[in-house]
Amino acid sequence: MTLLLETKEPKAKEIEIIRSDNWELPLLNLGKGKYEWRPKTAVLPYYLFEGPSMTRRTHGINLSKDLSIGVHGPRGSTKTLSMSYLIAKKLRMGQPCWGNWPISFYVVEPNCWDKCESRYCHLCYKGALTYYENMPLDMDKVYTFNDELSEGIVSFTEFQYYVEARTSGRQQNRFLSYQIMQIRKSALSFYYDVQNEGWVDKRFGWSDDIKIYCWDLSKMNYDFDQAGREIEEGEYSHWTVKDMSGVVTGVPFEKSGIEYGPWQFDGYNFWWIYPTKWKISVYDAVYSMKQESEKADRLALVGQAIGLAVNYFLDQKKTKVQASDMWAKASAFAGFEVNPVEGGKVLSSYEVPKSQSRSKWFYDLSIFNEEIEN
């Protein structure tokens, strides 16, 4: 007698989504514990956006102009926090902002903040609160010069994943550089951050109006006795600024050679306007542009499969992955065999470290698991 047992495939675990006005946010991307973040929880007093250096100007930078700004600095130097602050100011000025990470906050208006001493603004449903939120960036609209992207700001964090320097001839790089060249005609600003400015296509550095260099004060020598305590990471940082095009001083950096600053940025005021644990989508970054040819279609599918495989191993808390396991998992996602040559090109072009141990090759995926710094 043969007993036939019905087998059922295990259901894939559904990804829990947190929704805001403009975003659908995967819960696993929003951090846990002390880093847990939710939209519509940050509440900022109005005066953070006021004063001669705070409304339309920041350290001499006139944000009412259409600018290309690059933000640089080592890991954990407040690059994304600094850029989120600049974008918050643009939102407060009434301009639409598109980005590849979410920003969400309330501003308590003067007629409420100045009259109330409770400071439980996030629990108050009667207060004069104005809500601001950026919008997710649709890359197809960027590449097609869509008219919807105008009179505002386009922003990227971890920009090297989109226009890596070693792929400067790639069509994706060229389209983005063309978009920046049209910046003033489309009334569009362009902000991006990357650790090393040499990691991205040189055309973007050449197009920059302003370069901001960030340094986390907690990692520098500071007067502990004067501070009275240890300064937290991201609490304060120093900025130095280069006027690359002369838009601020009238003299471009190439002629003046002057680096202005340092200025202190009180980043702690803006800690909770974005999720510090937000991970950039590998697939969206590497293959965000629509492909047309048959060869490109396969390459796009390989890139998508590699991205899914990377996310699978990261979800398993596994960052050191044997190459053969990577190709096997990518093949399962793609529905066809992903060979080491084509799969290796995807990972190596984004500098995923590769090492050999006992005749076996391994990839270090921790590069994709780094948090966006405070």
CATH of the domain at 227: 3.40.50.300
CATH, residue 300 = 1.10.10
The residue out of 273, 297, 325 marking a domain boundary is: 273
Q: Are 39 and 133 in contact (CB under 8 A)?
A: yes
- 288 and 210, same domain (yes or no): no
- 301 and 263, same domain (yes or no): no
**Amino acid letter at 341?**
V
**What are the DSSP calls for 321-333, one per residue?**
EEHHHHHHHHHHH
CA distance to 20, 153, 186, per residue, from 94 (Å): 19, 11, 17
Q: Is residue 10 domain-resident?
A: no
Q: In this structure, what DSSP letter does residue 56 have?
A: S
Beta bridge partners of 104: 133
Q: Is residue 155 domain-resident?
A: yes
pLDDT of residue 257: 92
Strands (E), 256-353: 259-265, 320-322
Beta bridge partners of 153: 97, 189
Q: Is residue 72 domain-resident?
A: yes
Q: Which residues of the chain fall below pLDDT 50?
A: 1-3, 5, 7, 52-57, 165-169, 173, 289-293, 371-374
The residue out of 225, 244, 273 marking a domain boundary is: 273
Give the H/E segment covering residue 349. Answer: helix 340-349
Q: Are 254 and 340 in contact (CB under 8 A)?
A: no
Minimal CA–CA distance to 319: which of 285, 368, 286, 373?
368
- 239 and 350, same domain (yes or no): no
The residue out of 273, 299, 328 marking a domain boundary is: 273
- 102 and 145, same domain (yes or no): yes
Q: Residue 231: CB partners within 8 Å, gap ≥ 6? A: 217, 218, 222
- 200 and 321, same domain (yes or no): no
Q: In this structure, what DSSP letter does residue 14 have?
A: P
Q: Which two tokens stand for residue 271?
A: 């800690």
pLDDT of residue 1: 43
- 138 and 234, same domain (yes or no): yes
Return mean pLDDT, the chain. Answer: 79
CA distance to 201, 301, 342, 345, per residue, from 296 (Å): 21, 9, 12, 14
CA-atom Rg of the chain in angstroms: 23
- 67 and 40, same domain (yes or no): yes
Q: 174: domain range?
A: 17-273
Q: Provide the domain count of the chain.
A: 2
